[in-house]
Amino acid sequence: MTTKANFPVTAGSIVVPYGHVIGNEKWRGSELAQRLQGKVRLIFEDALGLVDFHLSNRTCILLISEADLVAGDEFKRRLVRFRNASSLRGIVIVEKTQISDQYYLGVQKLVVLELGMVLLPMANQGEASQLIIQLVREQSRDRGAGPFLGKRRAQPAEAAVLQAVQRIPGVGKTKALLLLQRFGSIHRLCNAAIHELEQAVGQTVAQQIYTFLHS
């Protein structure tokens, strides 16, 4: 591959063609790679450094195997180096097995709470491959089109304003509507003089409203 020399050696951003995954050479021939083949277009590179897979120009995967967890702290140094060196969004996939389970809470604390990265536990390379395939599909959606993104529509504030005014003790829906039609906004209702309130809702309730809004 002729463009290889242009790729940064560690943790940097690289160009990932649409629908492709760029994998670290060390995964060539692995079970994980075999399961990805055919589902995504997988290209291997040998200069990815800390990163295992690039899913897009912004997102990459770092895998921590059961063996890494058992071996000691080296994987922590790797994650911290990545976090310090890279502006990419790193998704950490950790192999959570019966053996490595005891380390999970500690890893979660480091990765999610201390480093602010995403951590997803997977039982084996097969599960990891399924997740990577889904992540690639999710990546290729338009930004903002995910099922959990941007569904809130702006609604007219009228109903909410009416609700708020009805939270004033002594004010039901009828009086709330009277007040809003007369004063227009909560801000102007707050700044109304007591005699103006009296003209709208009578002396007793006016006093109640005035006290509520001013103390």
Partner 1 sequence: SAWNSRVPGEHGPSPWLCILADSREMCSGPEVLSCLRAVHGLRVQVCSLGTSDYIVSNRLAVDRMLQSELQSPGNRNRVSQRLQRLQGIFERICRTQYYDGVLSALVQAGVRILFSSCQEETAALLKDLALLEHRKDAAIQVPTEPEGHQRDVLNFYLSIPNLSYGAALNLCHSFGSITAVANSSVPALAAGARLSPPQAEELHRFLRHDFDLELLPQPLPAKRKS
What is the binding site for partner 1 (CB under 8 A)?
Answer: 73, 91, 103-106, 108-110, 112-114, 118-121, 123, 127, 130-131, 133-135, 137-139, 141, 146-149, 151-152, 156-164, 166-169, 177, 180-181, 184-187, 190-191, 212-215
Nearer to partner 1 by C-beta: 195 or 214?
A: 214
Pairing of strands 53-54, 20-24: antiparallel
Only one residue has tokens 């480093």, namely 115
Dihedral in degrees, nearest 10, Cα atoms 69, 111, 54, 52: -10
Closest distance of CB 25 from partner 1, Å: 25
Gyration radius (Cα) of the chain, Å? 29
Closest distance of CB 47 from partner 1, Å: 26
Render 9-67 in DSSP notation, one character per residue: SSS------TTEEEEEGGGTTSHHHHHHBTTBEEEEES--TT-SEE-SSSEEEEEE-HH
Name the 3-class secondary structure at 154: coil
Closest distance of CB 46 from partner 1, Å: 27
Nearer to partner 1 by C-beta: 5 or 105?
A: 105
Nearer to partner 1 by C-beta: 7 or 23?
A: 23
Closest distance of CB 41 from partner 1, Å: 18
Only one residue has tokens 């599960």, namely 127
Nearer to partner 1 by C-beta: 46 or 138?
A: 138
Please tell me the distance from the alpha carbon of residue 164 to that of residue 169, in angstroms, as a whole number: 11
Closest distance of CB 24 from partner 1, Å: 20
Nearer to partner 1 by C-beta: 64 or 180?
A: 180
